[in-house]
Amino acid sequence: MRQQMVVTISIDDLAVNYGSYSFEGPHFRKGVWTADLYQLPDLSNGFVAAVPDAVCLLTGTVHGDVRLTVEVREAAPERELDEWEAAVEVSLFSTDGYLTGPDEDDFVTIRLTSAPGWYRLRAYARGRGTARHHHYTCDDNCSTCPIEEHKLIFWPAPPLAEEALKRDGVHSDLRDKRPLPAFGPEAHPVDLEGFHDALPNIII
């Protein structure tokens, strides 16, 4: 059996501000994630929100560093739920086959395997609750705060419903938010600008 190709990116000190970070494609209109995250659609899992050409992740760390690993695979790997405290799968439509972000200091390009098309993202996290607790109990010069860890795995796959595989309780107050309606090439066969124009009307 041919071994699956895996491309891995590792960042030990990804800078996080305001409890989130995102990766965006070139067709994604800048500024959508600058709104209050609690007002954005499809965050009911408390961890991941995906829209065409962009994905946003919520952290327990409010301001600080997160250890991030990104894998791009040809097919879905086995799940690693025992090693992580939170795990969510979402579908993402990519127009150009790559995502960049999250900021100028930690600029990363995630090259997906083909474009345009649908991808599945499995996001893992551990240490979000501990990091959030330390934010409220440590001062700004705390040198003993634990490092929150995330792992993102992308592979080509048809769109499927979001699946919360494991919850850690962080951002659990988002579970009553309205999920995002289905968007993608079926809903907007010509271009994705219609999605961006409609997004402000979808936000609660």
Q: Which has the closest alpha carbon to 119: 80, 155, 71, 90? A: 155
Q: Is residue 138 part of a domain?
A: yes
Q: Is residue 193 part of a domain?
A: no
Q: Is residue 49 part of a domain?
A: yes
pLDDT number for residue 105: 62
Mean pLDDT, range 99-125, rounded to an integer: 83
pLDDT number for residue 84: 96
Question: CATH number for the domain including 27?
Answer: 2.60.34.30
pLDDT number for residue 108: 82
Q: Which residue has the higher pLDDT, 96 or 32?
A: 96
The number of domains in the chain is 1
In the predicted structure, residue 114 carries a pLDDT above the cut 80: no
pLDDT number for residue 52: 83
Contacts of 143 (CB under 8 A, 6+ apart): none
pLDDT number for residue 13: 85
Give the whole-angstrom CA distance, residue 93 versus residue 50.
9
List, for residues 129-184, the tens digit of each pLDDT value.
Answer: 888 777 655 655 555 667 899 999 999 999 999 999 998 888 776 654 544 443 34
pLDDT number for residue 88: 95
- Distances in whole angstroms, Cα of residue 49 to Cα of each of 6, 66, 121, 140: 24, 18, 10, 29
pLDDT number for residue 30: 52
Q: Is residue 31 part of a domain?
A: yes
Q: Is residue 196 part of a domain?
A: no
Q: Which residue has the higher pLDDT, 1 or 94?
A: 94
Q: Is residue 32 part of a domain?
A: yes
Contacts of 130 (CB under 8 A, 6+ apart): 60, 146, 148
Q: What is the pTM of this model?
A: 0.77
Partner residues linked to 93 by β-bridges = 118
pLDDT number for residue 71: 94
List, for residues 28-87, the tens digit of each pLDDT value.
Answer: 755 454 444 444 446 778 899 888 888 889 998 888 889 999 999 999 999 999 999 999
Give the whole-angstrom CA distance, residue 157 versus residue 151.
18
Q: Is residue 141 part of a domain?
A: yes
Partner residues linked to 123 by β-bridges = 88, 152
Q: Is residue 203 part of a domain?
A: no
pLDDT number for residue 180: 42
Domain range for 169 = 6-183
